[in-house]
Structures are given as structure tokens and as C-alpha cells.
Amino acid sequence: MIGGSDFVIPTLASGAAFDACLRTIRRHWPNAIFQDAISGAKVDRFDAVPIGRWMEMFAYRDAAAARDWDEYELIPELAGTMVHLTRSGSDITITVDDVPGPEIKRMVDNMQRAIRMDIFTLPASVQGIAA
């Protein structure tokens, strides 16, 4: 009674890492819709996502995909149209299809790369490391 494939990326700067993931998603899916997993609230612009407040979210490829998920939930036809992000104080978990396709794999690779690059450029205090 659990589905999807998890990619766990350790980070002490989960807010910045979340932001890096969203920017990566936007590059792959310019018309992405973002949804808070706790409240169900949706926004259709990357810069409207309250990154500091959302701890768990879904990103859909576009508005049509978001509508289809609301209507059908998980069905094979919707593979490759949604990414689930969860964060805590110590990691970001990216959850995708059970068997992710090439585009989703590339997106996950790019998110992992973006998080690593962001972490290297963050000051130690932002990363949660005592100066």
C-alpha cells in the first residue's frame, strides 16, 4: 500500500533545495501547475509558490494533467505527468512513477544536480552549519 519511486537527497537547506527543484521542474514543464499536498491549494506560477510554507507538494506537467489527476487519480495514462516533492530538515524526497520514463529520469537527475550546485553556493549559515 505504497507506490512510486523515491529519490532521497540529503540537504540541510531544504528550502533552497525545494526552490532548486521547482526551477528545474519549470525548465522541463514551462506550464507546470503546483499544488500544496496538505491543503490542496494550487498555483499556476512558479513565483507564486510559498516555498517557505509548503512542506509537501505536487507538480503537474500542465493544467490538463492537473485536471486529469483530480478526476482519475493514479492511472497508467497519467504516467510521467506529476512529480511529488516532500521535504524535512534533513532531506528532499522526490517521488515519481514506479518505473520512471526517460523525461522524468532526466528531470530527477537535473534536480539532484541543481540541489548540489545550490548547496555549494549557499553560505554556511543558510545551510544550517554553525559558523
Partner 1 sequence: MEGKDDTLFHYTDVDGYNAIRSQPVWVFKASQPPGKRPFGAYFTTLGPGTTLLARRLGLPKQKIEYVFAFNGSANLISLRGSRGKIVLYCRENYQVEQDRQVDSGPMTEVAERLQ
Whole-number Å distance between alpha carbons of 84 and 92: 10
Residues paired with 6 in a beta bridge: 95
In angstroms, how far is CA 55 from the centroid of its own chain? 10
Contact region with partner 1 (CB under 8 A), list: 20-28, 43-51, 89-97, 107-115? 89-97
Contact region with partner 1 (CB under 8 A), list: 23-31, 46-54, 87-95, 123-131? 87-95
Among 92, 108, 114, 115, binds partner 1 (CB under 8 A): 92
Comparing CB distances to partner 1, the nearer of 17 and 114 is 17
Contact by Cβ (8 Å): 85, 93: yes
Comparing CB distances to partner 1, the nearer of 4 and 23 is 4
Q: What is the contact mask toward partner 1 in residues 21 to 50, using x (rule: CB under 8 A)?
A: --------------x-xxxx----------
Is 87 near partner 1 (CB under 8 A)? yes
DSSP labels, 2-64: --SEEEEEE-S-HHHHHHHHHHHHHHH-TT-EEEETTT--EESSGGGS-TTT-SEEEEESSHH
Is 8 near partner 1 (CB under 8 A)? yes
Whole-number Å distance between alpha carbons of 5 and 25: 17
Interface residues with partner 1 (CB under 8 A)?
1-6, 8, 35, 37-40, 56, 58, 69, 72-75, 82, 84, 86-88, 91-93, 95, 98-99
